[in-house]
Chain A
Amino acid sequence: MKFLISLHINPAVLDALTDEERAALGVGHGRFIEELKASGEFILTQALADPSQAAVVTVRDGQPVVTDGPFLEAKEFLGGFYLIDCEDKQRAIDVATRIPDTAIEGLGVEVRQVMFCDGHLEA
């Protein structure tokens, strides 16, 4: 079963971290990726650029309209995700508990099952 683990970031929370805490966060993600790769459950991960760089695209009467993002006005935004393939939902949840963000108040880690999938996964 495939699951998307999305990481919801709050810039204010990240800014309040000490340099050591921020470094530990990076190291923690690195270790998490290595563990997941070794267990044969890792598919891919991507981190997204800052939402201030986002463009919201709409088409009205056939005319594209582009405005500055983000689309959702919220304190938190989607910072990145892990796509994994594992046994079942419980295992996905167990995996997610090893993501360092889970230990930081104000950061969100969400597990959702994938329902449809297409394209080459060799990336």
Chain B
Amino acid sequence: MTAPDFEDLLRELTPQVLGTLVRRYGRFEGCEDAVQEAVLAAAVQWPSEGMPDNPRGWLVTVAGRRLIDQLRGDRARRERELATAAAEVAPEEVPDTDDTLLLLFLCCHPALTAASQTALTLRAVGGLTTAEIARAFLVPEATMAARISRAKQRIRAAAGSFSPPEGALPEGALPAGEREERLRVVLQVLYLIFNEGYTASSGAEAHRLDLRREAIRLTRMVRAQLPRDGEVAGLLALMLLTDARRAARTTASGDLVPLAEQDRTRWDRALIAEGTALVKEALAEPELGPYRLQAAIAATHADAATAEATDWRQVHGLYLVLERIAPNPVVTLNRAIALAEIGGPEAGLALLATLDADARMAGHHRLLSVRAHLLERTGDALGAYDHYRRAARATASLTERRYLEARAGRVRPGA
């Protein structure tokens, strides 16, 4: 095994080992320190002395000893053991259960803010260093370290509501309703991580960690645990189908290319095939969920060889269902785009008008921008120009602003 192989294996095993320890002992913070020490010992020892027969059992045993030493506060003994113990470890019996899910539930604890949930998930489940996470979010390491440590404090404070009994899997530790709710938060956090990576400025910082790939890796881990959950499959499909368009989404100079104008030959066919297969599987189930439906919409777009060939009736129908099960003005906004393709821009504009009274959408750049596009198609250059300009001012994304300013320039009356 080469060094990167060891690294990959350790990153894969870390959350499982941490999850096992947390399930046994509670104490998230102490467990994390102990697992880090064990992983460090493995990184030093395995390449030179060979990998143990049961790497996970080895890590659980070493980390467990570290934790017990920590609890005893026997510093001197701990120092002594650091040097010798790892070598003579005989792995104890580790039950063949993967505790990654338990760990995810803990990191996505409802007592935490979304920013803390994402940071802690990347740290404890993703096995990333604080420095890597800080760079990914473009904040100083000290900021990220404080955020992660505050998150752990919060979890400790809320521990009463989450102390799984020994031997209990998360399924058993949480009532079904709460478990469902917690899984929903986990998926939301994974999607947030994906979107953070997807919207990050393209390629400007080569050393920046790829959050998209990390989110996909973590979602695959969840899917391995819950292969029959349609929403998990749906989220993974949505990520893959979105990621498939990445190369076509911006020009070489970093300018945004709208879906209709993307060079579809640059879409990643392998990702589309995998995503589409997942969607089909997830939609075969009796229940529907928002991730499945969004993935189905992405799959419909992926299925069209050209923008003109898009099955807009199907897209519109899927948005209608999505609107019914998860009402949200942004969904209505997206449905207006589909409706305009079927019934003309006026029909789209009429649907947009229903959003004007919604406080959540007041001055929202997406509403302004969609209205600008539809006004442009009705031939109202002045109205389109005005809305593109307002949308450009309302967005907080530089690439989006550049795109909207360019569109405004194209329709400017008298230009």
Contacts and interface: CB of A to CB of B under 8 A. Distances in A.
A42 interface: yes
A39 B114 CA distance: 13
Nearest to B139: A85
Interface in A4-26: none
A62 B366 CA distance: 42
A86 B137 CA distance: 11
Given A37-B146, A38-B146, A43 B113 contact: no
Nearest to B396: A113
Central interface residue in A40, A42, A118, A121, by most chain B CB within 10 Å: A40
A82 B138 CA distance: 16
Interface residues of B, number: 25
Interface stretch (B58-66, B147-155, B318-326): B147-155
Nearest to A122: B140
A37 to B, nearest CB: 6
B115 interface: yes
Contacts of B113: 87, 91
Nearest to B135: A121
A115 B147 contact: no
A39 B146 contact: yes
A117 interface: yes
Interface string B93-122: 000000000000000000001111001000
B146 A40 contact: yes
B328 interface: no
Interface in B122-150: 137-150
Contact of A40 (B138, B148, B397, B401): B148
Nearest to B116: A40
Interface residues of A, number: 23
B143 A85 contact: yes
Interface of B: 113-116, 119, 137-151, 204, 396-398, 401
A2 B396 CA distance: 10
Given A38-B146, A39-B146, A40-B150, A115 B398 contact: yes
Contacts of B146: 37-40, 42
Contacts of A91: 113
27 contacts: A2-B138, A2-B139, A37-B146, A38-B146, A39-B147, A39-B150, A40-B119, A40-B143, A40-B150, A41-B147, A43-B139, A43-B140, A44-B140, A85-B137, A85-B143, A87-B114, A87-B115, A91-B113, A115-B397, A115-B398, A115-B401, A117-B138, A121-B139, A121-B140, A121-B143, A122-B141, A123-B140
Contacts of B398: 115-116
Contacts of A118: 204
Contacts of A37: 142, 146
Contacts of B141: 122
Given A38-B146, A40-B144, 13 more contacts: A2-B138, A40-B116, A40-B119, A40-B150, A43-B140, A43-B143, A85-B137, A85-B139, A86-B115, A113-B396, A116-B398, A121-B139, A121-B140
A85 B115 CA distance: 9
B138 A121 contact: yes
B143 A41 contact: yes
A116 B399 CA distance: 10
A117 B119 CA distance: 20
Contacts of B139: 2, 43, 85, 121
Contacts of A115: 396-398, 401
The 9 A-B residue pairs whose C-beta atoms are closest, nearest first, are: A40-B147, A40-B146, A121-B140, A113-B396, A85-B139, A116-B398, A115-B398, A87-B115, A40-B150
A118 B150 CA distance: 26
